[in-house]
Amino acid sequence: MSFGTDIQASPAGGESALSRFLRLCFLSAGIALLAACSLPRGAAQQSEILKDETPETPSFQVVQVTRNVVDGLAKWPVTGWSGSYHWLTGTRGPSSSVIHAGDRVNLLVWDSQEVSLLTGAEEKSVEMRGITVSPNGEIFVPYIDTVVVNGLTPDDARARVQTLLEEIVPSAQVQLSVEPGQRNSVDLVGGVSKPGSFPLPSRDYSILSLIATSGGIKPELRNPLVRLIRAGKTYEIRAETLFADASRDIVLRGGDKVLIQEDTRSFTALGASGTEDIIYFPKERISALEAVSLMGGLSDSRADPKGVLVLREYSARQVAQARPGPDMQQVIFAFDLTNADGLFAARNFSVNPGDTVLATESPVTKARTIFGLVGSIFGLTTQVAGASTGN
């Protein structure tokens, strides 16, 4: 019996046996192909990432973040930075500057006597310019030897020089001015319109005054930080906080160095979200919920709101010493954003610099992909069957 004599055409308007046979053949081949090949993928699913959670020797720790545990997690060691900006506090000083080693002192001495030790026959004054203050804080003045001026205001130094001169030149009158040296000036390195070295006009000269003198912070800087280097230590504060709180406007000291830079702290956004990128911190603290917002939110058609993960690495020292703290160096914090408990927990959980925030893909997405491919196969078989019957 031949193959063709077994398969009869269906009645008019129906599907022939050949069409049904071809449709089944294509469907079977399609299912086999789906089983053998990887489906088109986006982000990983939560079950795939956490599948190593249950073995006897896991390589990472998984923490389901809820309101009951979020306060305890806040006491764990901070990663990626110190956890807060460290800034100085200080009080205002007198409005006059003080003399330091390296400054240059200019003296103008007046003497009305006809015969003077200091002035010539036709002169009533003598000028001594550019007298450098020695490392031990002294200047040399003729006839009175060295005078200690370190730490004195210009007025106090003038009075001291005049008092000593009056012992040998009773009618002498002294004028004194100071040109600040390195120890009586500050350097503004960058981040402003006019960086450079600035002399301190007074002991009350603040960091905001310095920034204003230099033309202000460049507007293109993202979330600028103000860094102060003093005596080998570095302090920093967000510019926004400095501008908002008058108590943070500290007084500068000679030798200070100020640098204004963009905040370089960031986290990595991956998965089924609006963007996959390195995202910089727009403020000092970012919560997990804010991180999701900065990522462009969760993709409505792809993301699993029960599977938002934060991946973080701790140092071996932090694991060994911190109590409370993690049990392993690599930790995955998992959030369920489909209920109030998970939403409030995400709102109070801080993302650290260097973290990876991953929006996993919903299992429904895989099912949709399979159904779409199966539908495409059915469509193809219908076309083939139609062609075979001349439809």
Count of Cβ atoms closer than 10 Å to residue 263 Cβ = 20
CATH superfamily of 46-81+266-365: Outer membrane lipoprotein wza domain like (3.10.560.10)
Mean predicted lDDT score pLDDT of the chain: 82
Q: Is 266 helix (H, G, I), strand (E, B) or coil?
A: strand
pLDDT of residue 53: 57
pLDDT of residue 33: 55
Residues 6+ apart with CB under 8 A from 38: none
Q: Report whether 230 contacts 179 (CB < 8 A).
A: no
Model confidence band, residue 78 (pLDDT cutoffs 50, 70, 90)? very high
- CATH numeric code, 104-179: 3.30.1950.10
| pLDDT tens digit sequence for 25-75 | 655 655 555 445 554 555 677 777 777 655 677 889 999 999 999 999 999
Residue ranges per structural domain of the chain: 46-81+266-365, 104-179, 184-262
Q: What is the pTM of this model?
A: 0.64
pLDDT of residue 186: 92
Q: Report whether 137 contacts 149 (CB < 8 A).
A: yes
Q: Give the closest residue to 271 by CA, choosing from 307, 242, 245.
A: 307
| pLDDT tens digit sequence for 274-311 | 999 999 998 889 999 999 999 999 988 889 999 999 99
User: Which CATH fold topology does 184-262 show?
Assistant: Outer membrane lipoprotein wza fold like (3.10.560)
381: pLDDT strictly greater than 50: no
Is the sign of the CA dihedral 281, 285, 288, 290 positive or negative? Answer: negative
22: pLDDT strictly greater than 80: no
Q: Is 109 helix (H, G, I), strand (E, B) or coil?
A: strand
Q: Tell me how far the alpha carbon of residue 276 is from its chain's centroid.
A: 18
- Domains 46-81+266-365 and 184-262 fall in the same CATH topology: yes
pLDDT of residue 8: 47
Omega before 324 cis (within 30°)? yes
